[in-house]
Chains A and B, each alone.
Chain A
Amino acid sequence: MDRGFFSNIELRTRNGRIYYAVAVLSLLLVAVVTLFPFFFAFTSGLKNSTEIFTGGLNLFPESPQWHNYTDAWTRFDMMRLFGNSFLLVGVGVFLRVVVSAAAAFSLSKLKPVGGRVIIFGFLLTLMIPSIAYFVPLYITIAKLPIINVSLLNSYWGLWLPYCVDAFSIFVLKTFFDRIPSDLIDSARVDGANPFQMFIRIILPLSRSIIIVLCVLAFVGLWKDFLLPYLVLTDPAKQPITVRLFYIADDYSVNLQMAASFMALLPPLFIAILLQRYMKIGLTLGGVKG
């Protein structure tokens, strides 16, 4: 039986109905406020350049200028911006998950000597977010120690730092810990090496948690601003989040809004289509920290 603090019977009484109506209305109000910026960007993107500056609450454009969207698409060169973002984020997500899963597999099933020290080292990075040390991080990327290679204006300068994600390692380790060691042991008896165990046994069993982490990583990396802003100074390589902000000012507001709305669509689609995974991931993050 499903009930909340209200029982279903109570909800049919007069007071219950009033309570419920008030709750629904307040939730709808919050929903309207939450969605307003999306809606506003969308309709402002449809206005013509005089209408957008006339006062009054004209939320709906009189004659929707759909060509604004195609104009914005070509003028902001959005094809390339999206391409850059997808390349940057796609490879970033892939590398992060591979590096994290390999490390978690090792810590969970191969029991390295000194594993506790390493876990503490990973934990430390959870407690000190990168914003606190982005200056030396930038210096490291600009000139890698020992080999003296600069990763500025190279996607590697972001892909590699994006692999630093202790959260994924801990989530995966907790998950791998629950996979019975018997499976690993019997594979070992059958002569499997650790690579085969990792690829044939561990990864297929943890497909769902890996999707969760991929979705989280995709959204997180798509949102990232400071590091790509510092590392990629070449406009031709910048992802949409960095480039759009800087060129937006050169164009009229309606085109800005149209471009912004289009830029929001990929993460929105991911969030809506993969909401089940997103939900698991976000609740995972809050409590385990």
Chain B
Amino acid sequence: MMNTPYRVDANLKPPTIRRHPINYSKLRSTLPRQFFAYLFLLPALVVFALFAWLPILSSIQMSFQDVRLGQEATWVGLDNFTLMFRDPVFEIAWKNSIQFTTWSLLLGYLVPVVIAILVREMRIGKGFFRVVYFLPTVVPTAIAVIIWRFIYDPDGGVLNEILKALGYSRLLWLQDANLVKPALVAVMTWGGFGTTTLIYLASLQDVALELYEAAELDGASPLQRIRHISLPHLYPVMSLMFILQIIAVVQVFTEPFLLTNGGPGRETLTPAMHIYNRAFIRADMGYASAWSVTMILVLLAFSVIYRVVNNRLSAET
């Protein structure tokens, strides 16, 4: 009789007994531990809060405000955004961005893949090529620009002298609307392909050599071995690099800012440059922030794609 309730209870969860309502000894070690944990985190939390989280939030806030130097900010609702969509520069700047991306993928996307595959083949001098190719990646853009604008110089610049020697007429590399984008992309590619090459090279080191051997025994030609073994091995990294390259080009600022200042006309005006112009030359922080928010959304979208692809790839392996 007395047993019945117990039997019923036996099928349920055992009653939770808080044996030690407060574990004093544990608390004594946890509290200082948490104190130290946050003490070590504090510098990072402070700088991230001040110089990343707060500015991100405040660009969202400012995008709904009219903010001018020396004046109280006033809420203006979606005015900045409607203004932005009506601004002819909106279409121009983002179209330039898309064209820069297209050019950079055309000129620079496959170059590191090919170079990495060839360098991997070298029996001597691998290290030499690796160093040479990544030297431009350490060059500050502001310095590179001084050198490149002399290379591109219409009168006496090396490129035009080469054209002249080959019997062609000179080209206005940075002044011609059709040439300026590929010319800028060439500078960016020069400054960036070494990094990507190193990443592909690292990936190629992981290819099992038996695969090549087996393919060779089966009579596959060297080119077929590249196509069916090397390249498929690189595809995952290549898809990540594709997204990273887009993310990098969307942010482009220094090259067009210093080399062409957006010109000729507005041919090389990028969204980041327009933000700069609006904020620091016209001192219209609110409107510039609407652009910033757009840029945050675009970059965030590609970053999310990157993470999704990355997670799927690491789940597969």
Contact = CB atoms under 8 A, between A and B. Distances in A.
Contact of A283 (B131, B198, B310): B198
A30 B189 CA distance: 12
Chain B residues touching A, range: 35 or more
A5 B212 contact: yes
B22 interface: no
A289 interface: yes
A38 B276 CA distance: 30
Contact of B139 (A24, A161, A264): A264
Interface of A is mostly: helix
Given A128-B300, A193-B36, A160 B156 contact: no
B37 A223 contact: no
Interface string A211-250: 0000000010011111000100000000011101100100
Interface residues of A, number: 109
Contact of A132 (B140, B151, B295): B295
Contacts of A260: 143, 146-147
B129 interface: yes
A222 B140 contact: yes
Contacts, number: 309
A19 to B, nearest CB: 6
B190 interface: yes
B106 interface: no
Nearest to A112: B37
Given A20-B121, A132-B295, A242-B142, A125 B34 contact: no
A118 interface: yes
Contacts of B165: 56-57
Return the 5 tightest CB-CB contacts between A and B, nearest first. A103-B44, A127-B303, A112-B37, A110-B37, A106-B40
B292 A287 contact: no
B195 interface: yes
A5 B275 CA distance: 49
Given A134-B275, A245-B142, A282-B198, A289 B310 contact: yes
Nearest to B217: A7
A213 to B, nearest CB: 14
B226 A55 contact: no
Interface of B: 33-34, 36-41, 43-45, 47-48, 50-56, 58-59, 62, 111, 115, 117-123, 127, 129-148, 150-151, 155-156, 158, 161-162, 164-165, 190, 194-196, 198-199, 202, 209, 212-213, 215-216, 222, 225-226, 229-230, 237, 240-241, 244, 247, 251, 253-254, 258, 272, 275-276, 279-280, 285, 288-289, 292, 295-296, 299-300, 303-304, 306-307, 310
Interface of B is mostly: helix
Contact of B50 (A4, A59, A144): A144
27 contacts: A5-B117, A5-B212, A5-B229, A34-B133, A37-B144, A54-B156, A56-B161, A99-B43, A102-B41, A105-B40, A106-B40, A127-B303, A132-B299, A135-B275, A136-B55, A139-B58, A160-B47, A160-B50, A163-B51, A193-B36, A194-B39, A225-B258, A240-B143, A253-B150, A256-B146, A267-B138, A282-B137
B158 A133 contact: no
A206 interface: no
A23 B122 contact: yes
A278 interface: yes
Contacts of A127: 299-300, 303-304, 307
B218 to A, nearest CB: 13
